[in-house]
Amino acid sequence: MIGYNPKDWWKLIFAFHRSDTFRFLLPGIAGVAAYTGVVAYVENDVFHASFKNTTVVHSLVGFVLSMLLVFRTNTAYERWWEGRKLWGSFVNNSRNLALKLHAILPRDSAERETFRVLIINYIFAAKEHLRTGVHVKKLAQTGPYDTDFYQQKKHVPNQIMGAIYQEINNLYHNQNITGDQLIVLNSELQSFTDNLGGCERIKRTPIPYAYSLFLKKVIFLYVFTMPIGFVIEFKYWAIPIVAIIFYVFASIEVIAEEIEDPFGTDANDLPTDIIYETIKDNLEEIL
């Protein structure tokens, strides 16, 4: 995720980075401009066409298309923001669990180190699980929880959480914690799985195919029929006008496509790497 100062208008207006939609859409913008130029030449210089009220239809359709794009953007942003709330909950849950274990476990106990490693591993595994998959060799090892243990199941976060539950259960059976403390710790552990389940729901439930397909078709038809009417009224000035309109509408769709899956490594995705480092630093300090 890119950090920036939202109040620095001039820097943002003239900034171009790898995620900027203008760079991504530049070939399409050039193609639309060339296509509009050809239509302008054919209608004005070859056929000398003269239509009346040529922009009315596109004005009406443009309003409907704008409403569709607003809905599309809001839906994508809701998914992005929900993902951010879930990862914020990961931070809070990790701190709360670590603070409770810090109060319960003796300072010199080996269990403190085990829980610290397992919780950090769980957050790392959750982050990578939502991307391309977990490389178990990157997980820290402690006691019986080595690489062979982590790769026993395809769902690595579940495997790690199972180990944490087992360690909590061992504390209870060894009478290191009471039944009330077991209940308190269980509520924190359950929230980890709930958060990951919410992230998986966002990851695996894209915008309905029919809606996305329809919106792209409408944008295509709207832009590629626009020069037919606009070049009569605006002549060759229709070239930049149509190109700008294509840039605006297509950019909204491209941005929505990027942020609707917020757990990757794109410039506008959630800063899960930074959140993971924050949790890691907190747990190392607490435990």
The secondary structure of the chain in percent helix, strand, coil, rounded to multiples of 5, reads: 75, 0, 25
pLDDT, mean of residues 209-233: 89
Tens-place pLDDT, residues 144-200: 999 999 999 999 999 999 999 999 999 999 998 999 999 999 988 999 999 999 999
Among residues 239, 253, 218, the alpha carbon closest in space to that of 30 is found at 239
Taking residue 44's Cβ as centre, other Cβ atoms within 10 Å add up to 16
pLDDT of residue 4: 67
- pLDDT exceeds 90 at position 140: yes
pLDDT of residue 10: 72
CA-to-CA distance for 90 and 73, rounded, in angstroms? 26
User: Which of the 8 DSSP states describes residue 142?
Assistant: B
pLDDT of residue 30: 95
Which residues are CB-contacts of 21 (< 8 A; sequence separation ≥ 6)?
247, 250, 251, 254, 255
Higher pLDDT, 47 or 12: 47
pLDDT of residue 16: 66
Among residues 71, 77, 84, the alpha carbon closest in space to that of 212 is found at 71
* Lookup: tokens for 258: 């990027």
Among residues 278, 285, 280, the alpha carbon closest in space to that of 99 is found at 285
- pLDDT exceeds 90 at position 212: no
- pLDDT exceeds 90 at position 286: yes
Angle formed at CA 117 by CA 111 and CA 121, multiple of 5 degrees? 140
Q: Cβ distance 130 to 87 under 8 Å?
A: no
pLDDT of residue 18: 60
Tens-place pLDDT, residues 36-89: 999 999 988 887 777 766 677 788 888 889 898 999 999 999 999 999 999 999
**Sequence letter at residue 69:** L
pLDDT, mean of residues 242-250: 94
Phi and psi at residue 142, in whole multiples of 5°?
A: -155, 130
Lowest-confidence pick of 9-23, 143-157, 272-286: 9-23
pLDDT of residue 107: 86
b/e 235-273 (16+ beta carbons within 10 angstroms → b): eeebbebbbebbbebbbbbebbbbbbbbbeebeebbebe
pLDDT of residue 17: 66
pLDDT of residue 234: 87
Number of helices followed by number of strands (H, E) in the chain: 10, 0
pLDDT of residue 53: 60
Among residues 188, 245, 206, the alpha carbon closest in space to that of 55 is found at 245
